[in-house]
Amino acid sequence: MWNEQNLINLLSERIKNNCSKYTGCIPNAVANREGRYECQTGGHWTDGFWPGMLLLANVCKKDDVYIQEFEKYIPFFEERVANDPEVNAINGYIGLDHDVGFIFHLTAVFHFRLTGSAVSEKISLQAADALAARFQERGAFIRAWNDWEHDTPEFRELKKGKAIIDSLMNLPLLYWASRHTGEVRYAQIASCHANTLMRNIVREDGSTYHTFQFDPATGEPKGGKTAQGYADDSCWSRGQAWALYGLALNYRHSSDEQMLATALRCAEYWQRSLLPNGDAPWDFAAPRTERLPIDTSAMAIAACGLLELASLLPERSDLLQLARATVRRLIDAHLAPASLEPNAFLLHGCVGPSYFKGSQEEATGEYGYGTDQPLIYGDYFFYEALLRLNNSSVVLPWF
């Protein structure tokens, strides 16, 4: 029977073994079903999770091997944050968008805080500037995505007015930049954007849209749209997990009580929407067929968010209980077994592409790529949840 401590030991060893397997590359976001990540080509929103995991392991195990391995990635992050179109084209990097927090906060900012590295400080401030520059005065939101090569003209126009729920997790980068530089504008942008999302992307019942559309000319709110969920008016479970964790983190930085209350409403919706066995379906409105994909990454993210909320609301012992039950379920039903010689920690993640809707996969129950597979962010948040459970004052990148 696994307990937190011996599982942390096992996974920290697995991280150490993975160092030689990845040899300086960034693992793909999605592993194969045996739990093996290949090295990715290009750069994505997930670039920060493996190097970030090395820093978490260093904090937990106090072993310099992890930080030395992390430091091999610093030239990559320097190149990535420069966001040079030519370099991006040569390497297949996706240009920087709202996701700079996932990429640079878990890595450069945390490394700077742990070591005082001047290079990581510079990368962190460049990343914060890139995020702040996306703020749209009309509508008061941070723009989600850039123009992509194959966009239709209509989609390109829509994107000018698009905000996304994932971005709540990127705002701690801006709060850090304000604290570090003394410039209030970063924190003002973060709290303005979080407020806009809280008012528009979270519904009355505590469920959430994945993205939200504003009229780019006037800033007027237009309505919610999905990108990775089942339908525009459904609730994509990883988006719900980003919301409950992201709003709790924003409360910690902004002390805005409404943010805490909204995070709690999102957590309560999450709790009452789980399957009877405690799993999260990839979308809470997806048809409950026998082969309904579940998303262990959403469960790991939600467990971290619930632990954050439980630390803010110690009288709500149900939050801690649910977080513990979620981690227990991940361990009992979804841990990648040693017999697979996996790099991954958790099986059964789901990327959640919107093409499921009405698709052959949905009709036949034969869901394809990106379902029932480990996800690097699921592993990151599972490891974080274990560290939090094991030591409630563990040093984390988020604050």
End-to-end CA distance of the chain: 33
Per DSSP, 354 falls in state G
Q: Report the nearest approach of ligand GLY to the CB of residue 163 (Å).
A: 11
How many other β-carbons are positioned within 10 Å of the β-carbon of residue 365? 12
Binding residue (CB under 6 A) for ligand GLY from 162, 238, 265, 329? 238
- Specify the residue, 210 or 334, whose C-beta has the smaller distance to ligand GLY: 210
Burial class (CB in 10 A: 0-12, 13-18, 19+), 25: middle
How many other β-carbons are positioned within 10 Å of the β-carbon of residue 34? 15
Q: Report the nearest approach of ligand GLY to the CB of residue 144 (Å).
A: 6
- Specify the residue, 105 or 238, whose C-beta has the smaller distance to ligand GLY: 238
* Contacting ligand GLY within 15-74 (CB under 6 A): 45
Binding residue (CB under 6 A) for ligand GLY from 55, 142, 159, 166? 166
- Specify the residue, 101 or 397, whose C-beta has the smaller distance to ligand GLY: 101
Binding of ligand GLY at residue 279 (CB under 6 A)?
no
Q: Report the nearest approach of ligand GLY to the CB of residue 390 (Å).
A: 25
Of the candidates 89, 22, 99, the one whose C-alpha atom is nearest the C-alpha of residue 54 is 22
CB-CB contact of 140 with 189 (8 Å): no
CB-CB contact of 135 with 216 (8 Å): no
- Specify the residue, 14 or 238, whose C-beta has the smaller distance to ligand GLY: 238
Q: How far is CA 398 from CA 107, 119, 176, 247, in A?
A: 11, 20, 9, 12
Of the candidates 109, 104, 114, 27, the one whose C-alpha atom is nearest the C-alpha of residue 66 is 114
Q: Report the nearest approach of ligand GLY to the CB of residue 375 (Å).
A: 8
d(C-alpha 309, C-alpha 315), whole Å? 11
Binding residue (CB under 6 A) for ligand GLY from 228, 240, 262, 354? 228
Could you confirm whether 147 is annotated as catalytic?
no
State the number of binding residues for ligand GLY (CB under 6 A): 7
- Specify the residue, 45 or 73, whose C-beta has the smaller distance to ligand GLY: 45
Could you confirm whether 99 is annotated as catalytic?
yes
Per DSSP, 340 falls in state G
Binding site for ligand GLY (CB under 6 A): 45, 99, 144, 164, 166, 228, 238
Q: Write out the catalytic residue numbers.
A: 99, 166
